[in-house]
Amino acid sequence: MNDLKRYTVHITGIVQGVGMRPHIYKAANQLGLCGWVSNQGATVVIKIAGGNKSIREFLTALLENPPVGAKISNIKIESECYKAYNGFSIINSSTDNQLQGFIPPDMGICDECIKEIRDKMNRRYMYPFTNCTSCGPRYSIIKTLPYDRDNTSMIAFEMCPACMSEYESPDNRRFHAQTNCCADCGPKLSLLDSNGKPIDSIHPVTSARQLLYEGRLIGIKGIGGYHLACNAFDEKAIDLLRKRKRRPDRPLAIMAVNLESARLICKITGKEEEILTSRQRPIVLLEKKNPQLLPNNIAPGINRLGVMLPYTSLHHLLFHEELQYLIMSSGNISGMSICYKDEEAFEKLKDIVDFFLVHNREILTPIDDSVVRVVDEKEMVSRSGRGYSPSTLQIDVSCEIMAMGAEQKSALCLLHKGYAHSTQYMGNLDEMNAYEEYLKNMKRMKVLLGAEPQIIAHDLHTGYLSTQWAIKQSDGRIPIQHHHAHMVACIAEHDLKKDAIGIIYDGTGMGTDGAVWGGEILIGSKGRFLRVGHWKYVTLQGGDSAIKEPWRSAASYLYAMGINSEELLNSVSSLKVKALQNAIRHNVNCFKSSSIGRLFDCVSALVMKRMHITYDAQAAIELESVIEPDVTDFYPYSIKEEEEKLEVGYKEILSGVLRDLKDGMTASYISAKFHNTVCEATIDCVCKIRSKCGIDDIVLGGGVFENAYLLKKMKRGLKERGFYTYHNMNIPTNDGGIAFGQAAAAAQMAKEGNYVSGSSGKDCNH
Ligand SMILES: [Zn+2]
Ligand SMILES: [Zn+2]
Ligand SMILES: [Zn+2]
């Protein structure tokens, strides 16, 4: 038998908490191989010995068919002298934390487990915390790596003999399932009133279901925090939720009992179905079906719904024949991050809900539902949370960097041992407790990965709490311009090696000249950029209120055009408009802006009469929602060349909008024409730029590209003119992706020795 071999195999990636060791154990046994498998730090190490052909088969199967939820990023195979082992075994985890760590995300319940909770004969019948090696909570309950029960909040529950025997039997699908539990030994549900007092109930979940059906509001503790739930058929209950939560307009997420029910309320493409039913179970933004089955107050003024499918046993048990849709809104009060600690939830949500449905397993990391959309049958992550975070992308540098992100849609990115680990969305840092959670998460990421970043990457905006924190540290730091970070987020995600042209359309970002940028055309790479074009500056008045009150953008643009806006904005008091005009005249609280986001606000105020917003980007979202897709017209526009920079004007465009308004054209027509104009003018610009620099790779980035109409139209137009386009997919194109962009940019700059240390605040990337 001279073909006997022995190998040591190291696999890294998302390989813990996904049933990797039992999977390997089974495969090795089936092929008659011997050796062992172990978690070491966050790497899975295998010693495998036996016939060479069988080992090959074993490795091929491992790579081609890993367990669901696993993501092998790297595999290292070393040949060794043959040695026989006594069978194949799983050996206990070592605590070697020096190795690369990957943190497994939470996974939605698997089909096998769903079968069990529905089977009257099964011992887990109706047990709301049923899970197995390939499903259940992970990141939200992990204290430290490696992923073992003792390092999670499941440490509080001792396995009963029946569960222990499953855990110990190699043939059981719960073999070495760290979160294994049942009704006898695992977490338990209780139903409480709004004051947190227990309510007698034999089956809390059945009682909760009845209460939901009757129109009551329930705070439900889930995987990463609390949801505020009510019957999605009940218009009054939804109104009450909106009133109590102080959320007048913001779209509310729906949980549909299954795919068939989701299809009754939305159009669902093949890709959308794949994502809805994936184990990551995000909220998918889908096109509403007409006529609407559910009340209009779920997502007023917009043409899509955020829909997800149940992702825990508990969720499945909440539905019945007459309760097919639930509102599952984030459990927070307006302006705060998601509640996940029981005491905090009872205190903060007691005035919103009528009841609480809670359990006694501690959530260690708050994490919201992820939000994704599908554009041209490709997935785009809009909010990275449960199931998606922490996300891991390879960036080949040796230094360790903590990237701070921006202010809105905050997230952190920790670059460690050649991988960028991006955290979940943590809300806006200016909200009351988001900043606290953000700092806690920073510590947690460092502990989980055993990282000690030497460099901090941050935004240029000194008003951001993330920047202020960075400036206070004595370590080396690298300021990254906001739109360069957006551009690099895309360059790094697609691993582009050559210079690209970046079309970065955004709300707000500090420019290197002190103005607010957001309509930018850049040329550059990870390490540097040149601003080759932008939308013409306008003087905006009102600081933060300019964002929350789109009429201010409209009045500012019109003032710059010498047009009296009082009549056009007649739902705003003329005293307010006059005060704004006066303030611009005397330069009080004014700033220069090239932000496309504000131009969209201006047009929405004029066309949709959207003067105030109550959630982020509401004005632009409503403007996009009314587009008449068959319109191909566009407004005249101008492009000026000044000091080697192109400048796109807004006067001709807005004059066109005003003319159409006067002629009584519909909002649908004007909106389409305006969107088309932004595309035409932009593509015209990049054609001019290409004729000088010869670059035909285009990177599209910034929050404005969450606008699917604009993104699709821009991609199509650029393709017709021979460009190659790239946009973010796994990384959010909005400010949720800034930290990743900062990390990748700073890594490149550090590699080139191009960074400042201490707190000089000097920019190094323009
Ligand atoms: Zn399962
Ligand atoms: Zn048990
Ligand atoms: Zn941005």
The answer to whether residue 135 scores a pLDDT higher than 50 is yes
H helix count then E strand count, the chain = 22, 31
- CB 314, CB 189: distance < 8 Å: yes
Distance CA 191, CA 359 (A): 9
For residue 304, report the distance from its CA to the centre of ligand 3, in Å: 23
Name residue 456's beta-bridge partners.
402, 477
What mean pLDDT value characterizes the chain? 92
**Ligand 2 centroid, distance to 40 Cα (angstroms):** 27
Q: What residues pair up with 226 in beta bridges, in sequence order? A: 221
Question: 263 is written with which tokens?
Answer: 């299809």
How far are the Cα atoms of 226, 362, 386, 520, 748 from residue 368, in angstroms, in the given order?
9, 16, 6, 31, 31
Q: Ligand 2 centroid vs 20 CA: distance in angstroms?
A: 22
Q: What percent of the chain has pLDDT over 90?
A: 81
Has residue 581 been placed in a domain?
A: yes
| Interval 383-402: pLDDT, tens | 999 999 998 888 878 889 99
Q: Residue 475 Cα, ligand 3 centroid: separation in angstroms?
A: 25
CA of 515 to the centre of ligand 3 (A): 14
Question: Which pairing describes strands 71-80 and 88-90: parallel, antiparallel, or unpaired?
Answer: unpaired
In the prediction, which pLDDT does 196 show? 94
Mean pLDDT of 206-231: 97
pLDDT in tens, 496-536: 999 999 999 999 999 999 999 999 999 999 999 999 999 99
Q: Which of 294, 301, 290, 304 is nearest to 325 (CA)?
A: 294
719 CA distance to ligand 1 centroid (A)? 44
Q: Cα(109) to centroid of ligand 1, in Å?
A: 5
pLDDT at 569 over 80: yes
d(CA 134, ligand 1 centre) in Å = 5
Does residue 744 sit in the same domain as residue 706? Answer: no
Whether residue 245 is contained in a domain is answered as yes
Ligand index nearest the alpha carbon of residue 19: 1
Measured in Å, residue 114 CA sits from the centre of ligand 1 at: 7
H-assigned helices in 289-393 = 313-318, 342-349
Query: Relative to the alpha carbon of 313, which ligand is closest?
Result: 1
Distance 262 CA to ligand 1 centre (A): 23
Q: Note whether 237 and 288 are same-domain residues.
A: yes
> 679 and 539 in one domain?
yes
In a domain, residue 182? The reply is no
pLDDT value of position 752: 86
If phi over 0 gives left and psi between -120 and 50 gives alpha, with beta otherwise, what is residue 609?
A: left
Task: Specify if 164 maps to a domain.
Answer: no
**What is the span of the domain harbouring residue 69?**
4-90
Q: Is pLDDT of 287 > 80?
A: yes
* 175 pLDDT more than 90: no
CATH of the domain at 28: 3.30.70.100
Q: In this structure, is residue 121 part of a structural domain?
A: no
Question: What residue ranges in 289-367 does DSSP mark as E strands?
Answer: 304-308, 325-330, 355-359
Ligand 2 centroid–CA 751 distance in Å is: 52
Which ligand is in closest contact with the Cα of 705?
A: 3
- Same domain? 672 vs 756: no
8 Å CB contact between 668 and 675:
no
Q: What are the pLDDT digits (tens) for 23-39?
A: 899 899 999 999 999 88
Torsion of CA 45, 51, 54, 56, to 10 degrees: 60
Ligand 2 centroid–CA 339 distance in Å is: 28
CATH number at residue 256: 3.90.870.40
Confidence of residue 93 (pLDDT cuts 50, 70, 90): low
Please report which confidence band the pLDDT of residue 759 belongs to, taking 50, 70 and 90 as the band edges. Answer: very low
**E-strand spans in 443-524?**
455-458, 476-479, 500-510, 516-524
The CA radius of gyration of the chain, in Å to the nearest whole number, is 27
Q: What spacing in Å lies between the alpha carbon of 26 and ligand 2's midpoint? A: 23
* Res 147: pLDDT: 79
Question: At 108, which amino acid appears?
Answer: G
Distance from Cα 426 to the centre of ligand 1, integer Å: 28
- For the segment 102-108, the average pLDDT, to the nearest whole number, is 87
Residue 180 lies in a domain: no
Same structural domain, 486 and 394? yes
Region of residue 418 (left: phi > 0; alpha: psi -120 to 50; beta: else)? left
What string of DSSP letters covers 15-77?
A: -SSSSHHHHHHHHHHHTT-EEEEEEETTEEEEEEEEEHHHHHHHHHHHHHSPPTT-EEEEEEE
CA of 692 to the centre of ligand 2 (A): 69
Q: Closest-lying ligand to the alpha carbon of 734?
A: 3
pLDDT band at 766; cut points 50, 70, 90:
very low
**CATH number where 521 lies:** 3.30.420.40
Ligand 3 centroid from CA 702, angstroms:
5
Q: Do 438 and 458 lie in a common domain?
A: yes
Strand-pair partners of 699:
502, 726
Q: Contact, 533 vs 682, CB < 8 A?
A: no
User: Is the pLDDT reported for residue 240 higher than 60?
Assistant: yes
Distance 637 CA to ligand 3 centre (A): 25
Among 10-14, 274-278, 462-466, 738-742, the least confident range: 10-14
Tokens standing for residue 766: 């323009």
297 shares a domain with 217: yes
User: What is the rounded CA–CA span in Å between residue 475 and residue 630?
Assistant: 55
Among all bound ligands, the one having the nearest atom to the CA of 174 is 1
Q: What is the mean pLDDT of residues 316-327?
A: 96
- Which bound ligand lies closest to the C-alpha atom of 108? 1
Domain-located, residue 108: no
Same domain? 270 vs 386: no
Task: Find residue 305's DSSP bridge partners.
Answer: 286
CA of 467 to the centre of ligand 3 (A): 14
Q: Are strands 283-288 and 371-375 parallel, antiparallel or unpaired?
A: parallel
The C-alpha angle 692, 518, 509, rounded to 5 degrees, equals 125
Contact indicator for 414, 421 with CB cutoff of 8 Å: yes
Mean pLDDT of 681-703: 97
Q: Calculate how far, in angstroms, residue 136's C-alpha sits from the geometric centre of ligand 1.
A: 7
Tell me how far the alpha carbon of residue 305 lies from the centroid of ligand 1, in angstroms: 28
56, 90, 124 - which closes a domain: 90
pLDDT digits (tens, 9 = 90+) for 606-617: 999 999 999 999
Split into its structural domains, the chain has a count of 4
Report long-range pairs for 162-169 (Cβ below 8 Å, ≥24 apart): 162/123
Distance (Å, whole) CA 606 – CA 598: 12
Does residue 549 share a domain with residue 413? no
**Any idea which ligand is nearest the CA of 181?**
2
What's the CA-to-centroid distance between 466 and ligand 3, angstroms? Answer: 14
- Cα 174 to ligand 1 centre (Å): 8
Question: Which ligand is the nearest neighbour of the Cα of 114?
Answer: 1
Strand segments, DSSP code E, in 584-683 are 590-593, 639-642, 645-648
C-alpha of residue 336 to centroid of ligand 1, in Å: 33
Domain co-membership, 284 together with 401: no
Q: What is the DSSP string of 220-259?
A: EE-SSSEEEEEETT-HHHHHHHHHHHT-SSSPPPEEESSH
Counting ligands in written order, the one closest to the CA of 597 is: 3
Q: From the CA of 202, how far away is ligand 1's center (Å)? A: 25
Domain edge (last residue) among 72, 90, 108: 90
Residue 141 lies in a domain: no
C-alpha of residue 506 to centroid of ligand 3, in Å: 5
Picking from 116-125, 140-149, 570-579, which range would have the lowest pLDDT averaged per residue? 140-149
Neighbours of 193 (CB within 10 A): 13
Residue 95: pLDDT over 80: no
Least confident of 519-528, 701-710, 754-763: 754-763
Tokens of 85: 């082992």
In degrees, to the nearest 5, what angle opens at C-alpha 614 toward C-alphas 578 and 404? 105
Q: How far is the CA of 179 from the centre of ligand 1 (A)?
A: 11
Are residue 357 and residue 434 in the same domain, yes or no? no
Question: Residue 583 C-alpha to ligand 3 middle, in angstroms?
Answer: 27
Contacts of 88 (CB under 8 A, 6+ apart): 25, 28, 29, 33, 34, 35, 36, 37
Using the 3D structure, point to which of 55, 71, 90 is the last residue of a domain: 90
Residue 96 pLDDT exceeds 50: no
669 and 742 in a single domain? The answer is: no
Across the range 122-146, mean pLDDT stands at: 93
**CA dist 335 → 55, 339, 408, 429, 432 (Å):** 56, 12, 12, 10, 7
Ligand nearest to the CA of 484: 3
